Amino acid sequence: MEQKLTIPKASVIARDHGIELLYQMMLIRRFEEKSAELYTKEKIRGFLHLYVGEEAVATGVMQALTLEDNVLSTYREHGHALLRGIDAGAIMAEMYGKQEGCSRGRGGSMHLFDATKKFYGGNAIVAGHLCVAVGMALATKKQKKNTITCCFFGEGAAAEGEFHEAMNLAALWSVPVWFVCENNLYAMGTAIRYSHSIVEIEKKGPAYGIETKVVDGMDVLAVEQAAKEAADKIRASGKPFFLVCNTYRFRAHSMFDAELYREKAEVEEWKKRDPIARLQQLLLKEKAITQNEIDTVNKQIEEEVQKAVEFAEAGTWEPVEELKKFVYSENQS
Residue-by-residue DSSP string for 92-128: HHHHHT-TTSTTTTSSGGG---BGGGTEEEE--STTT
Alpha carbons 130 and 144: distance in angstroms, whole number: 21
324 located within any domain: no
333 located within any domain: no
Average pLDDT over residues 212-225: 98
Q: For residue 329, what pLDDT is reported?
A: 75
Q: Using DSSP, how many helices (H) and how many strands (E) does the chain show?
A: 11, 6
261 located within any domain: yes
Q: What is the pLDDT of residues 49-70, one digit of tens each?
A: 999 999 999 999 999 999 999 9
Q: Is the per-residue pLDDT at 118 higher than 50?
A: yes
pLDDT-derived band of residue 327, with 50, 70 and 90 as boundaries?
Answer: confident
42 located within any domain: yes
Q: Is the per-residue pLDDT at 7 higher than 60?
A: no
Average pLDDT over residues 32-49: 97
pLDDT-derived band of residue 124, with 50, 70 and 90 as boundaries?
Answer: very high
pLDDT-derived band of residue 12, with 50, 70 and 90 as boundaries?
Answer: low
Q: For residue 13, what pLDDT is reported?
A: 83
Q: For residue 331, what pLDDT is reported?
A: 64
Contacts 24+ apart (CB under 8 A), 37-40: 38/95, 38/309, 39/255
Q: Is the per-residue pLDDT at 241 higher than 80?
A: yes
Q: How many distinct structural domains can be found in the chain? A: 1
Q: What is the pLDDT of residues 256-294, one digit of tens each?
A: 999 999 999 999 999 999 999 999 999 999 999 999 999
Instruction: Return the amino acid letter for 310.
Output: E
Q: What is the pLDDT of residues 162-198, one digit of tens each?
A: 999 999 999 999 999 999 999 999 999 999 999 999 9
Contact yes or no for 245/183 (Cβ under 8 A): yes
Mean pLDDT (the chain) is 94
267 located within any domain: yes
Average pLDDT over residues 115-128: 96
Average pLDDT over residues 89-103: 98
4 located within any domain: no
319 located within any domain: no
Residue 287 is part of which domain span?
15-311
CATH number at residue 70: 3.40.50.970
Average pLDDT over residues 116-136: 97
320 located within any domain: no
